[in-house]
């Protein structure tokens, strides 16, 4: 589907691994290639995004018990999540090119606070989490998604140190608990991973996301991640300090990026292409109903490319409920009927006034019905006066010259002559941020780091 104009709008295994047929794999059991999704030369199931007509036969492995011993999943199998699967007291290793499919709506992979994940794909052989439905019939909310739980600080208790149960599981689900005081807690590594068609909603306003990162600490590694066509948020951080780098969130049905509960991680090189029917490109909160709890949400984000769907009421970024943070060197584009950035609620305005919320050196274009800018919205009753200056430190109505967007074959790289090629401010000098001179997630005229491992399949 193409729209006109600038915008074209989730060990040995504990218990059994049931396998269809015969043959062996590292998880136990084996099978013949007799079920849907297996292929001996005529299918189109390929973890790298293409056809595997000449590739080896893959065996379906039914995963229906928790993972309690170190386990490795390999690319010669397709792993079917046939229940809510918890990794507890073990490490789950997933090899490049492996495909994992979620079945039956609420099925989800949860890496608990005693487990870790080591899912390292490559640009040529990414790891893919997707739906059991056939290609062409996959939809948002087909399955649950991927959840990482850690012991880093969250702010559900003022001052930190409290715990919570992750959204999407019952409040008394012991294996769903996260939070603590270990701010370096390592939930594991995910690199070159795609997550598609996730985000099952089990009750009103209670949904799994494509990727949920809850209480994960600074030793967690999340790089080259794509979340596509999730029914809720693409990636949501609940507290903790896990970083994210080289990420693509496409066609989320709610928010693309969501931060809550005292999240203080670093993010660089993030692409968001919001669905026409989605909500915000980013929704950043401190804590609902307790807007001044500490530690305060304070994400530091450089070099984002945020492309809104252009629908009525769809904002680029919505910063609210007392969040602090930094948004810099980014392109915010195509919130045609609403704000590029909204700073909402008295507590958030106070963070901006104090300098704890900074929005600087961004390019904002084609937003707000021609009234392009950053909208500060304090509470209606006893509003706080905004005393800062966003206007002189951001560029308004400056066209980044992004290519025309095709939802199923997008190109996010501006040409070399784009004004986004300059005007960046230096990020913090540390071991995470790269000091680049351009704005946006991809260098104008430079190498497209999304090429080869991302896909953008259509859905109805």
Give the Cα separation of 95 and 88 in Å (integer): 19
Question: Two tokens at 42?
Answer: 């005529």
Give the Cα separation of 18 and 62 in Å (integer): 5
Question: Two tokens at 177?
Answer: 């608990």
pLDDT digits (tens, 9 = 90+) for 59-93: 999 999 999 999 999 999 999 999 999 999 999 99
| Average pLDDT over every residue of 386-400 | 94
Is residue 193 pLDDT above 70, yes or no?
A: yes
Whether the full predicted model's pTM is greater than 0.85, yes or no, is: yes
Query: Are 186 and 114 within 8 A, CB to CB?
Result: no
Is residue 135 pLDDT above 50, yes or no?
A: yes
Give the Cα separation of 47 and 80 in Å (integer): 14
Give the Cα separation of 396 and 332 in Å (integer): 10
Residue 353 DSSP one-character state: H
Least confident range from 43-57, 110-124, 284-298, 389-403: namely 43-57
Query: Minimal CA–CA distance to 25: which of 97, 100, 77?
Result: 77
What per-residue confidence (pLDDT) applies to 21?
35
Give the Cα separation of 310 and 281 in Å (integer): 11
């Amino acid at each position: 589907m193409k729209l006109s104009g600038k915008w074209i709008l989730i060990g040995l295994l504990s218990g059994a691994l049931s396998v269809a047929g015969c043959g062996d794999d590292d998880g136990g059991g084996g099978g013949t290639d007799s079920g849907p999704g297996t292929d001996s030369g005529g299918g189109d199931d390929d973890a790298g995004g293409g056809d595997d007509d000449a590739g080896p036969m893959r065996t379906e492995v039914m995963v229906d018990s928790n993972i309690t011993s170190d386990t490795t999943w390999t690319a010669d199998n397709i792993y079917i999540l046939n229940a809510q699967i918890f990794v507890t007291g073990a490490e789950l290793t997933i090899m490049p090119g492996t495909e994992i499919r979620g079945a039956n709506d609420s099925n989800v992979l949860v890496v608990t606070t005693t487990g870790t994940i080591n899912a390292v794909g490559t640009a040529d052989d990414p790891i893919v989490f997707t739906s059991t439905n056939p290609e062409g019939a996959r939809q948002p909310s087909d399955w649950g998604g991927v959840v990482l739980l850690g012991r880093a600080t969250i702010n559900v208790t003022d001052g930190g140190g409290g715990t919570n149960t992750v959204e999407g599981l019952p409040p008394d689900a012991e294996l769903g608990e996260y939070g603590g005081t270990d701010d370096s807690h390592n939930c594991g590594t995910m690199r070159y991973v795609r997550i598609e068609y996730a985000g099952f909603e089990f009750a009103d306003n209670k949904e799994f996301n494509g990727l949920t990162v809850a209480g994960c600490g600074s030793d967690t590694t999340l790089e080259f991640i794509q979340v596509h066509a999730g029914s809720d948020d693409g990636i949501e951080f609940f507290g903790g300090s896990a970083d994210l780098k080289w990420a693509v969130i496409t066609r989320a049905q709610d928010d693309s990026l969501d931060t809550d509960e005292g999240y203080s991680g670093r993010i660089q090189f993030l692409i968001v292409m919001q669905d026409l029917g989605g909500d915000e490109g980013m929704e950043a909160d401190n804590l609902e109903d307790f807007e001044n709890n500490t530690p305060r949400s304070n994400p530091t984000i450089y070099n984002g490319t945020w492309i809104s769907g252009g629908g009525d009421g769809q904002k680029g970024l919505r910063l609210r409920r007392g969040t602090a943070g930094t948004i810099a060197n980014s392109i915010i584009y195509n919130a045609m009927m609403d704000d590029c950035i909204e700073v909402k609620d008295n507590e958030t305005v106070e963070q901006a006034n104090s300098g704890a919320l900074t929005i600087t050196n961004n390019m904002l274009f084609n937003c707000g019905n021609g009234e392009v800018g950053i909208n500060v919205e304090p509470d209606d009753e006893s509003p706080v006066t905004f005393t800062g200056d966003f206007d002189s430190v951001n560029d308004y109505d400056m066209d980044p010259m992004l290519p025309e967007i095709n939802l199923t074959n997008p190109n996010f790289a501006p040409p070399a002559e784009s004004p986004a090629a300059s005007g960046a401010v230096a990020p913090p000098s540390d071991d995470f941020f790269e000091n680049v001179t351009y704005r946006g997630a991809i260098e104008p005229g430079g190498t497209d780091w999304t090429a080869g491992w991302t896909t953008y399949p259509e859905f109805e």
